[in-house]
Every structure is written in structure tokens, then in C-alpha cells.
Amino acid sequence: MAAHMRFARAAVQIFPTKCFSPRLHGCSNVNIPVRYCSSTAAKRGLVLGVYEKREGVKLTPGADLYNQQTGGKLAEYIRLAGPTIKKGKSRVFYGLDETYSAVAVVGLGAQGLGVNELEGFHEGKENLRAAAANGVRQLRDILGTSTIEVDGCSDAEAAAEGADLGLFAYDDLKAEDKRKKPVETQLLKDSGSPEGWTKGSLLADGQNFARKLMEMPASHLTPTTFASITGEKFGSIGNVEFEARDRAWAESMKMGAYLSVTNGSEEPPVFVEVKYSGSPNSSAAPLVLVGKGITFDTGGISLKPPAGMDMMRGDMGGAATVSGAIAAIAALKLPINVVGLIPLCENMPSGRATRPGDVVTAMNGKTIQVDNTDAEGRLILADALCYAHSFNPRAVIDLATLTGAIDVALGSAAAGVFSNSRVLWNLLHDAGVSTGDRLWRMPLFSHYTRQISPSQLADLNNTGKHGRQAGACTAAAFLREFVQCPQWAHLDIAGVMANKDEVPYLNKGMAGRPVRTLVQFAAKLANQKWI
């Protein structure tokens, strides 16, 4: 008989009666022992980690402590359940003690894993994120647990990230009984650093905020509602100023490239400006983050094909990640000044829409021939990047779901980074290694600049003259024409916009990547003086 079956019999012997009315009790699983079904149990769950060893498993210090509290029952149950618990997999146990309705034991892989150079991330942290996400989801979905304690597994920050990212669901527009039950996660006492746990939770909150904004349909998330939602969010955080500028302001700034994109839409454009003052020197040069905020991209007159066009509700991913990152940076009270610039509008076809071949003038006076109205992201960023210069920035980073070409090049493995600075790139790269939300450097050769300029009618063309060839690189070369800061990076996040199943601790849907990398980058920047 398999070890797994032996365990099943042992568990049944302890609590033989199953929940008789899972629908009534809100229990999603008929196999839940009656004592722990929703009608009777105190709904508290526990997630514990175990490392893989050649024979069996090794308990984390937190799991070991709990094992002692249960008189060795945990280790015995694990032994009965089978030879090992593999990386990212879990087993749920009932009846270990009176405190928890259920305990999910999750596999962390081998102990002591660090940075994997080939993968470009910290493998131990990434395994823990996946394991924590798996454990909390199990307890929520099987048991309807409302409070879950999580083993910090000696890295409470990564455990909190995995747990809180893993529980995210955007179901605000579904009937109440179809929504995921809200769950509160807590660090298991004496299993990791409480400060690390708080930091990980705030990082996950920032990314989840971005995910929600990206997931919201364009019927609900317009430039105007984006401004009201983020305005409310930032209004509740200290040291943050928020302003929403209207079309007249953009006209007064001569943002002709940005305004040309909104022409076809009935929704008014909004340009959001967020300022976080965290540096002890309030006039210290800020990090400026610029985010593409197309709340829906139809392509305009150069209409996109219909398949998958619904995903273009996430074309404000740059705007969302900038907002999520600044929310987390402010919540963490990082000692740095940050400005967020977010040009928002829709890209729609209509009798007023910009036509292919039209010429528009950006804030810096450069003229642009708009040969493809679907290459609109670079137009709104062009003016936002010109405007960024007025803040005398320490560094400028723009984020945009800019090109399908970056998806072809890198898929969802990493966001593409185009930078004029090796120092800036190194900081960004290192941030991605620790968060697991990786970045990959791409070229900014003048070769690509020659593909977008000169244009037949104007200084620049908004598409490369060799069509789709190196589309992400020609887009970056275009943006470079509007940048004055010697510390600039453009992150093309189109490929990482959504998750299918590639990142195990993110569900299917909009990903909010790379919010945590941006925040870790800002923390690194705050602590060094080269830039």
C-alpha cells in the first residue's frame, strides 16, 4: 500500500465524520472532517515549510517549533503522508492541534539556495514565494480559512510576498457568493523577522494595487476614474502630493504628441502627477517614474485585430506599476524623493482620430509623422519625458506596455530594459535578482535611431522604416529623442503584462510586474551616491 494511502486511513481514524453540508457551511470540500468544517471550526490556518532532503524532509525552525508543540505529531503525519513534499507542492493536515483548523505543509526545495546565476534570480526566495502562495491558496480554497499564519522560513519578506501575491483576486464585479473569501495573513510567531514580513506585505500590496488597476475593464477604469482611485490612495499616505491635470493644462504645455492620441476618444485625458518627499533633503533631485497610461488601446485608425483585444485594458500597465511602486515606496518611508508622471488617455478610432501620415509636434518642438496610430504609447511618453526634465531629475525611468516585439523577444521571463547608463542598469538588474521579477538589457544603438529618423514629412517617424524588425529597439530609440537625463532607463513591460501560469505565485491575469523590482531599485538608489 502506498504511503499516501496509509496516511489517508490514519487521518480518517482520528476524525471519521465529514462535513455533511458543504454548501450550507460554505465549505468548498466535502472531505473536510466535520470538526473543521466552516460551521464549527475557528477558522485559523497555518502554513509551514519543509526542505527537501535525500530521505524525507527537513523542517524549518518555525515548523520544528510547531512540531514540538504538537508532541512530534507534525513530523509523524508528514512521514505517514509519503516520502517527501516536492518543491512548490503541499499537503494539508487536519487535527494536529486545537489552534488551527488545518495546517498546509509546503515544499521549499533544497535548503540554502542562493542566487542562481543562469536564472538571474535568488532561487531560495523564489521557491519560498511559490510555496507560501500554494499553502495559503490551499487553505483558503479548501477550508475557507479567514486567518492564515505563515512560517517565515528564515525569510519573512519573501514569505509575505508569496502569501499576499498568491491570494490576490480581482472579483469586485462578480456576485458576492462567487468572490474569493478575504483572508488575513500573519507571520507565525518566532519564525522570521516581523520587519521583513511587513516589508514583504507592503511590496505585495503595491503590486496587487497595480494588478487591480490593470485588470479593471476600460468601462470602469477611464483616465478620470484612474485619477480618482489613485488620488484616494495617495491621499491616505503621508508625504505624498497628488495632482490631476486636464486637457487645457496639456495644451498649455504644448504636449501635441500626447494630445494627438486622445483625439479619437470621448473620454477626457488626464495627466497625473504624484510627488513623494522621503529624502531628509526635501529639495534633493528626485527619481522620476513615467508610466504609459492608455486605459484602452484599440490601435486607433490603425485598428488592432479583434483577437485578444480585451487585454488592451491593461495598456495602462506602466501607469499602474508607477502608482503601485510609489504607494509602496511611500508606505516603506524610503529616504528618497520620487515623482510619478502618468499621461492617461484612450486610443480610439473616430472621425476626430489622428490619421496615419498626420504630423504632430511634441513639447520639445520635434515633429513626428504618425504612420501607425497603434504606436501611440511612444507619443504620450514623448511629452511626459520632455516634462520630466523640468524636475531636474536624478534619474528617469519610464515603464510602458509598449511593443508586441518585446513579447516576441523575451516573452514573460523578463521586462526589457533600454538604458543610457551602465550604473543605472546595474542597480535595476540587481533589484530584479532579489525580487525574482527580472529585467534584461536590450540595445540602444544609433542603428535603431536611423530607422525612425529622418521621416519623409517630419523629424521623426513613429514606426521603424523596416517595419516590424527590432520593433522594441526602434520604439526605445524613438523615446531617446525626448530624454535629456544621463541616467535614463526605458522598461518595455508588454511581455510581462499578464500571467498565464509562468510565475507560480501570481494567478492568471494582469501581473503588476515589475512593481517590487522598482521599489527595491528605489531603496538601492536611496542608499548610494553615484547617481
Ligand X SMILES: N[C@@H](CSCc1ccccc1)C(=O)NCC(=O)O
Residues marked as catalytic: 304, 378
Q: Are 503 and 306 in contact (CB under 8 A)?
A: no
Task: Examine residue 346 and tell whether it contacts Zn ion (CB under 5 A).
Answer: no
Residue 314: CB minimum distance to ligand X, A: 7
Quickly list H helices, 107-193. 123-138, 156-166
Size of the site for ligand X (CB under 6 A): 14
Tell me which H or E stretch contains 323. helix 317-331
Q: Are 286 and 338 in contact (CB under 8 A)?
A: yes
Task: Examine residue 343 and tell whether it contacts Zn ion (CB under 5 A).
Answer: no
Residue 121: CB minimum distance to ligand X, A: 22
Binds ligand X (CB under 6 A): choice among 205, 374, 383, 481: 374
Segment contacting ligand X (CB under 6 A): 73-81, 259-267, 326-334, 398-406? 398-406
Q: Are 446 and 418 in contact (CB under 8 A)?
A: no
Task: Examine residue 494 and tell whether it contacts ligand X (CB under 6 A).
Answer: yes
Task: Examine residue 377 and tell whether it contacts Zn ion (CB under 5 A).
Answer: yes
Residues numbered 290 to 329 that lie near ligand X (CB under 6 A) are 297, 315
Segment contacting Zn ion (CB under 5 A): 79-87, 100-108, 152-160, 290-298? 290-298
Residue 221: CB minimum distance to Zn ion, A: 15
Task: Examine residue 297 and tell whether it contacts Zn ion (CB under 5 A).
Answer: yes
The answer to whether the bond into 280 is cis (omega within 30° of 0) is no
End-to-end CA distance of the chain: 64
Task: Examine residue 388 and tell whether it contacts Mg ion (CB under 5 A).
Answer: no
Residue 292: CB minimum distance to Mg ion, A: 12
Task: Examine residue 492 and tell whether it contacts Zn ion (CB under 5 A).
Answer: no
Residue 317, CB half-sphere, CA atoms under 13 Å: how many?
A: 28
Name the burial class of residue 283, with classes exposed (0-12), middle (13-18) and buried (19+) by CB atoms within 10 angstroms of its CB: exposed
Q: Which is nearer to Mg ion, 313 or 438 (CB)?
A: 313
Task: Examine residue 403 and tell whether it contacts ligand X (CB under 6 A).
Answer: yes
Binds ligand X (CB under 6 A): choice among 61, 404, 504, 509: 404
Q: Which three cell numbers stand for residue 344?
A: 492617461
d(CA 408, CA 172) in angstroms, rounded, equals 32
Residue 505: CB minimum distance to Mg ion, A: 22
Q: Which does 313 bind (CB under 5 to 8 A by kind): ligand X, Zn ion, Mg ion, none?
A: Mg ion
Segment contacting Zn ion (CB under 5 A): 13-21, 71-79, 273-281, 307-315? 307-315
Q: Which is nearer to ligand X, 152 or 495 (CB)?
A: 495
Q: Which of the 8 DSSP states describes residue 403?
A: -
Segment contacting ligand X (CB under 6 A): 6-14, 47-55, 278-286, 374-382? 374-382
Segment contacting Mg ion (CB under 5 A): 12-20, 212-220, 269-277, 322-330? 212-220
Task: Examine residue 313 and tell whether it contacts Mg ion (CB under 5 A).
Answer: yes
Q: Which is nearer to Mg ion, 39 or 224 (CB)?
A: 224
Dihedral of alpha carbons 39, 90, 85, 203, sign: negative
Q: Are 60 and 45 in contact (CB under 8 A)?
A: no
Write the DSSP string, 117-130: TTTTEEHHHHHHHH
d(CA 70, CA 76) in angstroms, rounded, equals 10
Three-state DSSP state, 1:
coil
Residue 317: CB minimum distance to ligand X, A: 8
Task: Examine residue 294 and tell whether it contacts Zn ion (CB under 5 A).
Answer: yes
In terms of Cα–Cα distance, which of 287, 37, 16 is closest to 144?
37
Residue 404: CB minimum distance to ligand X, A: 4
Tallying the residues shown for the chain, one arrives at 531
Residue 510: CB minimum distance to Zn ion, A: 15
* Number of Cβ atoms within 10 Å of the Cβ of 116: 13
Size of the site for Mg ion (CB under 5 A): 3
Q: Which is nearer to Mg ion, 221 or 322 (CB)?
A: 221
d(CA 289, CA 398) in angstroms, rounded, equals 6
Segment contacting Mg ion (CB under 5 A): 45-53, 147-155, 213-221, 387-395? 213-221
Cα angle for residues 215, 212, 106 (degrees, 5° grid): 105
Residue 201: CB minimum distance to Zn ion, A: 32
Q: Which is nearer to Mg ion, 185 or 222 (CB)?
A: 222
Task: Examine residue 375 and tell whether it contacts ligand X (CB under 6 A).
Answer: yes
Q: Are 335 and 531 in contact (CB under 8 A)?
A: no
Q: Which is nearer to ligand X, 102 or 375 (CB)?
A: 375
Task: Examine residue 348 and tell whether it contacts Zn ion (CB under 5 A).
Answer: no
Segment contacting Mg ion (CB under 5 A): 149-157, 239-247, 307-315, 391-399? 307-315
> What pairing do the DSSP bridges indicate for beta strands 44-52 and 57-59?
antiparallel
Binds ligand X (CB under 6 A): choice among 215, 346, 398, 407: 407
CA distances from 477 to 259, 419, 496 (A): 21, 10, 21
d(CA 468, CA 126) in angstroms, rounded, equals 35
Binds Mg ion (CB under 5 A): choice among 221, 328, 424, 479: 221
Side chain identity at residue 179, one-letter code: R
> What pairing do the DSSP bridges indicate for beta strands 460-461 and 367-370?
parallel
Task: Examine residue 497 and tell whether it contacts ligand X (CB under 6 A).
Answer: yes
Within 8 A by CB and 6+ apart from 91, the residues are: 78, 81, 82, 85, 104, 105
Phi-psi region of 504 (alpha: psi -120 to 50; beta: other; left: phi over 0): alpha
- Judged by the rule CB under 6 A, the positions of this chain that interact with ligand X are 297, 315, 374-375, 377, 401-405, 407, 471, 494, 497
- Judged by the rule CB under 5 A, the positions of this chain that interact with Mg ion are 216, 221, 313
- Judged by the rule CB under 5 A, the positions of this chain that interact with Zn ion are 294, 297, 315, 374, 376-377
